[in-house]
Structure 1
Amino acid sequence: MLLATAGSRGDVEPFAALARRALDAGHDVRLVVPDHSGVDLTGLDVVSMGVDYSKLITQQGVSVAAAIRSYRSTVQPLMRAVIMESAKAAMDFGPDVLVTHPKILSAGLVATSLGVPHAVVEIVPAVTPTTAFPAAGTSTRDLGRFNRYTYGAASAGGAMFRRDLRDVSRLVGGTYGRTAPPAATILPISAAVLDRPADWPETVHLTGAWTQDRVSALDPATADFVAAGDFVYAGFGSMAAGDARARAQEVIGGIRAAGYRALLATGLGGLEVPAELRGDDVHVIGSVDHAAVMPQAAAAVHHGGIGTVHAATAAGTVSVLVPFIADQPFWGARLRAKGLTPDPIPQRRLTAQRLSAALGAVEGFSPAVRAAAGQMAGEDGTGSALRIIEGLR
């Protein structure tokens, strides 16, 4: 199997989990990934695609405007590397099956050239049209039968990077525009947070989250803080946008006002905690294994990326969502509709008062979240995905 993904940590972790499960099952697995994702890839056969999303986020944040301004200088070369290097890795490896993130636009060309099946891993529901909800990253309003039209953006990539895809065609000896559709589309998402639409084709599978059966050890200081209990976790991952210091002030103020201690993960710039905000009731760390801290947390304040949504829900911990961009408002709307979270607080409207009020309401959502955790405990998303992929050969 050749597995290829592009993006930040949340795009790499599920693929690493699948690679380990496939390796344990006796498959020959190669993983093509960006550099410096922060994911533990120890023991895996890894090929770099020569791009660094973490560096890009550190340099220009997650601003859509910044991405547009740097399209020719940064975004276009990055996507060319993603498209070309993953194709080269696949041709070099010669897999029996190709499993890729939707950003790997060259996957269909490569799979057709090699004569092997191809599965797309839809990390968030933004590719397969449905009338049940709009594509993640477009609208949080239910547009009814018009929901299907919000999925058109997913097909725009082929047109934007037509020249690069023609180069891939020449590389693999294929014909641009002549590719077989994916044999399967797999969503590593739990049914506890997303109901499977009835109008999805049978080839589209909602498997449950792809997770690794391992928990990273905490450093002694963090372990002591967690063991003392009565804390709220807060972290915004790679959401480097706006004033991270002012955001930390509101977060700490809200957690303190609600009567809790604060465990803050600064990530790639989502939070910046100056000395004057620190104290015995505030513990700051760059990043932390969610599985090691979420079960002990009174609540989890986060941006609403699907990886963190899964981690908090699986731990039975109520999320307080502060969405920034992309699919995050979508997950806020989905969780709110399922009664799993208070009303999300858009990041531009985050205040200590609003956060304190939300934290004061989390206990009312605990029964529903614990029930969802029980449902997730019965899922084996990674194993289900592997069985689907094995069936494609």
Structure 2
Amino acid sequence: MNIEILAVGTRGDVQPYVALGKGLLAAGHCVTLCTCAKFESFITDHGLNYASMNDDLIDFMHSDDGKIAMENTGNWWEAIKTAFKLLPKLGPMQRQQIKDTWESTCAAKPDLILFHPKAVGAVDFAERLGVPCMLAFYLPMYVSTGSFPAMGIPDLRIGRWYNRLTYRFIAKATWWGTGKYINEWRQANGLPPRRGGKYLRHANGEPIPALHAYSESIIPRPSDWPESATVTGYWFLNHPEGWRPSPELEDFLAGGEPPVYFGFGSIFGRDPVHLTQIVLDAVRATGVRAIIASGWGGLDPARFELPSTVLAIDSVPHDWLFPRVAAVVHHGGCGTTAAGLRAGRPTVVCSFFGDQPFWGAKVKALGVGPAAIPQKRLSVERLSAAITQATTDVTLREKADALGQRIRNEDGVGNAVQFINHWMKRSR
């Protein structure tokens, strides 16, 4: 099959799709990944075809306005208020993204489209081309269940009816933010207008299959899900063959007790120097050795004179580094959380926005890390207490190790490829 993957977001958003694409490629399919232009070499280096999309959205996320906006998305009410303010800026971006992805989709000539929810218009492109599509995502947000509410909605524990209602709300909110631009495109391309509220339905009423890229050890598959929805396991992209760490990193790891890893991603927080100061003060207070990853700007250790017990790095493949550390402290993004859990290491989540509080709550509920610390409340005292718990609590460390073993035994990419192949054969 000729398969196109539409993915929008940061490096952490895109990376799981590269892993999935490589699995599909190994299974004999031709794979094109359409995403922001800044990731073109990352995609082609892994042997996948690249299709163009502009960088407008990701540039906005990295801008001061974007960071301010994301600081106001701690709950859905704040997110809705923020969205109203941003509509004048986001509207033109949505239109341009739909235009870019449609042109790339026409060029790719797919037999199947896999899409991230932020890839607006994917379902409509599939309808226009007469091909199937599938949601491919790493959060439980769109397939209704009575077992738990949609990600980001408070768990009020007032009944299964409420849980199901939250998914209707998500579908309505998604359509509210994108429906205008989708129907503009549909009108221009000879399709009747579409109504919102039925997010995972083809035009003929058939369900759109949904793959969920997380472990059932973290979120079990609900018993009331339709057979069109599956939990595959995580889609991990391992470090390339031949990759080697720097001699400095190897020497540091060999020079003492396993360090604690600190990394806060790329777009989180407007004051990475202040965050770095908190980290360094907590490291000093707890006496641990530390590796601080500047990554794409979440922390800024270059501004400080570091003691010999602290090593600053740019970025290192998590699957190589995390098994060699004592604990991982990070923002709580899905990919970083998954990598830490797979390594069997206790996790300290310092959540910022979006899905990060959700994963922080999961870590705490599973007993593999202390309670998450929202970055607005991050302090030396709170971070020090969390580091101490993560590095000394024997029960917590045993649970993290056991969970890591279960996740390492899963084959998320293989399960996803099998589901896709099975569903496509069945649909034919």
User: Structure 2 length normalisation: TM-score?
Assistant: 0.85
Asked if the contact 1:6/1:103 (under 8 Å) is kept, the reply is yes
Cα distance per residue 1:258-280 (max 9 Å; x no partner): 22122111233322235445222
Using the TM superposition, give the Cα deviation of residue 144 of structure 1 relative to its aligned residue in structure 2, in angstroms: 3.8
Counterpart position of 1:59:
63
Tell me the distance in 1 between the aligned counterparts of 2:327 and 2:31: 37
Alignment of 1:233 with 2:261, yes or no, is yes
C-alpha change, 1:277 and 1:355, in structure 2 (3 Å) is: farther
Counterpart position of 2:214:
189
User: Structure 1 length normalisation: TM-score?
Assistant: 0.92
SS of residue paired to 2:63? helix
Using the TM superposition, give the Cα deviation of residue 375 of structure 1 relative to its aligned residue in structure 2, in angstroms: 0.8
Tell me the distance in 2 between the aligned counterparts of 1:39 and 1:344: 35
Asked if the contact 1:51/1:82 (under 8 Å) is kept, the reply is no
Tell me the distance in 1 between the aligned counterparts of 2:57 and 2:12: 11
User: Amino acid of the residue matched to residue 135 of structure 2?
Assistant: V
SS of residue paired to 1:29? strand
Asked if the contact 1:121/1:185 (under 8 Å) is kept, the reply is yes
Counterpart position of 2:198:
none
Using the TM superposition, give the Cα deviation of residue 320 of structure 1 relative to its aligned residue in structure 2, in angstroms: 0.6
Tell me the distance in 1 between the aligned counterparts of 2:314 and 2:56: 18
Counterpart position of 2:248:
221
Counterpart position of 1:383:
414
SS of residue paired to 1:211? coil
Counterpart position of 1:114:
129
Pairwise CA RMSD: 2.4
Counterpart position of 1:23:
25
Alignment of 1:337 with 2:365, yes or no, is yes
Higher mean Cα deviation, 53-62 or 281-290? 53-62
Tell me the distance in 2 between the aligned counterparts of 1:266 and 1:142: 39
* Aligned with residue 137 of structure 1, among 152, 163, 166: 152
Q: After TM superposition, list the pairs within 5 Å mapping 1:137-176 onto structure 2.
A: 137-139=152-154, 142-145=157-160, 146-151=162-167, 152-170=169-187, 172-176=189-193
C-alpha change, 1:252 and 1:38, in structure 2 (3 Å) is: farther
Alignment of 1:318 with 2:323, yes or no, is no
Identity of aligned residues (%): 33
Give runs of ≥4 in structure 1 deviating > 6 Å. Answer: none
Asked if the contact 1:318/1:366 (under 8 Å) is kept, the reply is yes
C-alpha change, 1:217 and 1:108, in structure 2 (3 Å) is: same
Alignment of 1:366 with 2:397, yes or no, is yes
Structure with bigger RCO (C-alpha 8 Å, 6+ apart): 1
C-alpha change, 1:23 and 1:276, in structure 2 (3 Å) is: closer
Tell me the distance in 1 between the aligned counterparts of 2:320 and 2:158: 39
Higher mean Cα deviation, 208-217 or 332-341? 208-217
Alignment of 1:12 with 2:14, yes or no, is yes
Asked if the contact 1:217/1:292 (under 8 Å) is kept, the reply is no
Asked if the contact 2:239/2:317 (under 8 Å) is kept, the reply is no
C-alpha change, 1:83 and 1:154, in structure 2 (3 Å) is: farther
Counterpart position of 2:306:
278
C-alpha change, 1:336 and 1:143, in structure 2 (3 Å) is: farther
Higher mean Cα deviation, 96-105 or 156-165? 156-165
Using the TM superposition, give the Cα deviation of residue 39 of structure 1 relative to its aligned residue in structure 2, in angstroms: 8.0
Counterpart position of 1:356:
384
Cα distance per residue 1:87-130 (max 9 Å; x no partner): 22222222111110112231111212222211001221122222
Alignment of 1:299 with 2:313, yes or no, is no
Counterpart position of 2:141:
126
C-alpha change, 1:269 and 1:214, in structure 2 (3 Å) is: closer
Higher mean Cα deviation, 123-132 or 265-274? 265-274
Higher mean Cα deviation, 306-315 or 226-235? 226-235
C-alpha change, 1:233 and 1:38, in structure 2 (3 Å) is: farther
SS of residue paired to 1:201? coil
User: Amino acid of the residue matched to residue 191 of structure 1?
Assistant: E
C-alpha change, 1:326 and 1:303, in structure 2 (3 Å) is: same
C-alpha change, 1:307 and 1:270, in structure 2 (3 Å) is: same
* Structure 1 alignment gaps of length 5 or more: none
Higher mean Cα deviation, 149-158 or 334-343? 149-158
Asked if the contact 2:273/2:303 (under 8 Å) is kept, the reply is no
Asked if the contact 1:237/1:270 (under 8 Å) is kept, the reply is yes
Counterpart position of 2:51:
47
C-alpha change, 1:158 and 1:214, in structure 2 (3 Å) is: same
Using the TM superposition, give the Cα deviation of residue 290 of structure 1 relative to its aligned residue in structure 2, in angstroms: 0.9
Asked if the contact 2:145/2:222 (under 8 Å) is kept, the reply is yes
User: Amino acid of the residue matched to residue 11 of structure 2?
Assistant: R
Asked if the contact 2:94/2:120 (under 8 Å) is kept, the reply is no
Count of matched residue pairs: 393
Tell me the distance in 1 between the aligned counterparts of 2:343 and 2:301: 26
User: Amino acid of the residue matched to residue 346 of structure 1?
Assistant: P
Tell me the distance in 1 between the aligned counterparts of 2:155 and 2:252: 37
Counterpart position of 1:347:
375
Asked if the contact 1:51/1:78 (under 8 Å) is kept, the reply is no
Tell me the distance in 1 between the aligned counterparts of 2:16 and 2:22: 10
C-alpha change, 1:164 and 1:383, in structure 2 (3 Å) is: same
Cα distance per residue 1:185-231 (max 9 Å; x no partner): 01100112212222222211110001124344323323332343421
Using the TM superposition, give the Cα deviation of residue 73 of structure 1 relative to its aligned residue in structure 2, in angstroms: 5.0
Using the TM superposition, give the Cα deviation of residue 233 of structure 1 relative to its aligned residue in structure 2, in angstroms: 0.5
Tell me the distance in 2 between the aligned counterparts of 1:38 and 1:196: 34
Asked if the contact 1:122/1:188 (under 8 Å) is kept, the reply is yes
C-alpha change, 1:162 and 1:115, in structure 2 (3 Å) is: same
Alignment of 1:179 with 2:203, yes or no, is yes
